[in-house]
Chain A
Amino acid sequence: MSLSSQKGNMNSIEVKNLTKKFGSFTAVDGISFNVKEGEIFGFLGANGAGKSTAIRILCGIIEPTSGDAIVGGYSVMNEPDKVKLNIGYMSQKFSLYNDLTVEENINFFGGVYGLIKNKLEDRKKWVLKVAYLEGKEKLLTKDLPGGIKQRLALAIAVIHEPKIVFLDEPTGGVDPISRRNFWELINELSHKGITVFVTTHYLDEAEYCNSITLINAGKIIASGTSKELKTKYLTNTMLEVECDRVVEALDIFSKQDWVEETSIFGNYIHISVEDENSARSLAEKTLKENNIKIIRMDKIVPTLEDVFIYLLEKDTKKNVK
């Protein structure tokens, strides 16, 4: 990941004022951003935030209502067919053919992308190696374990060696170990100079990204590296409170005007406050009044999750107003 500084400053994706409306509903609302060549770009947001629509536009599957995006040098508005030739795509829904063997799947997608003979054989070897399936090409795809399927899908998504690959929630429903392995593979691709555009629900995965963009209700509400997001957007102090009757305490905190945000993490409560010292004494006082015992209260470095919850709530409040 430290490689990002060495990578060129060429943009591999440039999005300008991209808007997509479905009837009166605006799914993507004038977003603009750039993705640098070879970086892992995390595109995050809640369900329905517009992530999938944006990805579908960038892949040339659907046309934007207005604005444009240059993907790998081609406009999605004017040359969607060229865009398609130069990208790879893998979605959360496993989209290889379960009733074909590993090799038949490779042959099929290779054929779709126009690979023939030696080139196809070369890439086949590579895919099999990456998916740990050497010597198992005659297995039916439906019999493969989930993690292997995911690797195979990714490898096939880049069988034609595209410069950019889009991964739409690629690790949905995969066990943690396979997920970590999968991210190693993503890193490998990035090291080879392939731009990886990834959406995910798992915020720990977002930490692997060189650059993160958060969208809500079709608009970008934050972007930067993981570190930048944690410091730039969250100027408040984050306190982690461990106490009795967590749910009640959360309710009490959320009613205090000196508390900006509250969220619950298992047995702990995270509260975001402006001034640490006054907040500590106020918290102790308030909980004592309600007969709730504080076990521990620490200042913590906010996690990405804290940042996102903070940003999303702020944005949602703004939208309601």
Chain B
Amino acid sequence: MLNRIKAIALKEIRQLKRDTRMLFVLFVFPLLLLVIFGYAINFDVHHIKMVVLDQDKSFDSRNFINSLTSSSYFDLVGYINDENKIKEILDKKEAQCVIVFPKDMSRQLYANQNVKIQILIDGVDGNTATVIQNYFNYAVQSYSQKFISNVLAVKGIKSYVPIDLEPVFWFNPDLSSTFFLIPGLIAMILIITAVVSISLSIVREKERGTIEQINVSPLTSFEMLIGKTIPYIIISLLITVVILTAGYILFQIPIKGNYFLLLITTLLFIFASLNLGIFVSSVSQTQQVAFQIATIISMLPSTILSGFIFPIESMPVPIQWLTNITPSKFFLIILRDILLKGVGIEAFWQQVLYLVLFSAILLGLSTLINKRSKVG
């Protein structure tokens, strides 16, 4: 049995070595995904384009603008003098927000009157709009506070802040969304390459008729599937190393946890993914069909349902159940735990158990289907 598995695995490696185009795709495609997704998917809002309608043109209005533009959050794109231009600017997306300082702002401030600064935000992207609003709130509050303490100081009263919040963000101190996203991205890349590569390799044998020679040989379905899996486990592990290295270089993603745990859990996930690929191959007859099913079955759930981008907790309950169909959901938790938190198995043993279960069920199912298709 071991000899036969070895024969299949060796054969597969030789074929892969000769298939330079496939190898190129297998290694370059993950890097490409990492770079594109890593840089493109970014929920951090920076460099908000801002236009100012300053009807006051006072020291205070300029001072307030300075306080905004001194951070990397706001970029001042220009000034306007006409209120009617606001609509045009937002319509043409020349800026994401327009800030309006009222006439007499400075005068009212020093007359102890409340001043209203108007901010018009492009609300199409609700998420970004909320973030912009929050930034402004913060800016206005701190400016007001400084102003009050100045006023009090003039009157000889020393001011103080009664309560201050000091938030400390663990595991991802800069709250960088890239940090949060990359583990999901790794899971997604691994599952796609694994599912696509192994399903194509099996279906190719059906298409070319070489499977027939295998069917009459003493090789069992199980030996054949295990033999086919081994080379792709190696390839997927190499891809993992490449991605983790690239993730460290490009996005400073650390590996805080145990390397051995990382290896074992990654192996498990790869095995689960390959079994998904084997399942795909057992239900498709041509490479074209296999490729389509493979990409859909691997990519869609691991992007949408895994918690990679959209938090599972905020999904409706039935959809939450549905999220269990993708092993990515579980590997993503493990990866975040190991890479970012550096915690041990006690934190994610349930996920590990799930991966084992998932692999076993799929491998059993595919072996069964393979046997039956031989009969049919």
The residues of A with any CB-CB pair to B shorter than 8 Å are: 59-63, 81, 84-85, 87, 89-91, 93-100, 104, 107-114, 116, 166
Contact = CB atoms under 8 A, between A and B. Distances in A.
Contacts of A91: 209, 212-213
B374 interface: yes
B174 interface: no
B204 to A, nearest CB: 10
Interface string B13-46: 0110011000000000000000000000000000
Given A91-B209, A94-B209, A99-B18, A112 B4 contact: yes
B114 interface: no
B27 to A, nearest CB: 19
Contacts of A99: 15, 18-19
From A60, A84, A110, name the one whose CB has the most chain B CB atoms within 10 angstroms: A84
Contacts of B318: none
Nearest to A81: B218
Mostly helix, strand, loop or mixed at chain B's interface?
helix
Contacts of A95: 208-210, 212-213
Interface string B150-192: 0000000000000000000000000000000000000000000
A104 B375 CA distance: 29
B85 interface: no
Interface size range on B against A: 20 to 34
A98 B19 CA distance: 12
From B4, B11, B219, name the one whose CB has the most chain A CB atoms within 10 angstroms: B11
A104 B18 CA distance: 12
B210 A97 contact: yes
B15 A97 contact: yes
Contacts of A166: 216
A26 to B, nearest CB: 16
B78 to A, nearest CB: 62
Contact of B218 (A63, A84, A108): A84
B11 A108 contact: yes
A112 B218 CA distance: 7
A109 B10 CA distance: 11
The 4 closest A-B pairs by CB, nearest first: A111-B7, A93-B209, A95-B213, A89-B216
B13 to A, nearest CB: 10
Given A91-B212, A107-B7, A113-B217, 20 more contacts: A61-B215, A61-B374, A81-B218, A89-B216, A90-B213, A91-B213, A95-B210, A96-B213, A97-B210, A98-B208, A99-B15, A108-B10, A108-B11, A109-B213, A112-B4, A112-B7, A112-B214, A112-B217, A112-B218, A113-B218
Contacts of A108: 7-8, 10-11
A14 B212 CA distance: 24
Contacts of B219: 112
Given A95-B209, A95-B212, A111 B10 contact: yes
Interface of B: 3-4, 6-8, 10-11, 14-15, 18-19, 208-210, 212-220, 374-375
Contacts of B214: 112
A166 B212 CA distance: 13
A108 B213 CA distance: 12
A222 to B, nearest CB: 28
Nearest to A93: B209
Given A87-B216, A94-B209, A114-B4, A63 B375 contact: yes
Nearest to A166: B216
A111 B19 CA distance: 22
Contacts of B10: 107-108, 111
A61 B216 contact: yes
A96 B210 contact: yes
A81 B215 CA distance: 11
A104 B209 contact: no
A104 B11 contact: yes
Nearest to A114: B3
Contacts of A61: 215-216, 374
Contacts of B209: 91, 93-95
A104 B14 contact: yes
Nearest to B15: A99
A97 B49 CA distance: 60
A93 B212 contact: yes
Contact of A100 (B11, B213, B218): B11
B201 to A, nearest CB: 11
From B4, B19, B208, name the one whose CB has the most chain A CB atoms within 10 angstroms: B208
A91 B212 CA distance: 8
Contacts of A59: 216
A110 B159 CA distance: 89
A140 B212 CA distance: 21
Nearest to A92: B209
B202 to A, nearest CB: 14
Contacts of A62: 374-375
Contacts of B18: 99-100
B351 to A, nearest CB: 37
Contact of A111 (B4, B213, B215, B374): B4
Contacts of A104: 11, 14
Given A112-B7, A114-B4, A100 B216 contact: no
A116 B4 CA distance: 11
From B7, B19, B375, name the one whose CB has the most chain A CB atoms within 10 angstroms: B7
B200 to A, nearest CB: 13
B17 to A, nearest CB: 10
Nearest to A116: B3
Given A98-B208, A104-B14, A89 B7 contact: no
Contacts of A109: 213, 217
Contacts of A107: 7, 10
Contacts of B375: 62-63
B219 to A, nearest CB: 6
Contacts of B3: 111, 114, 116
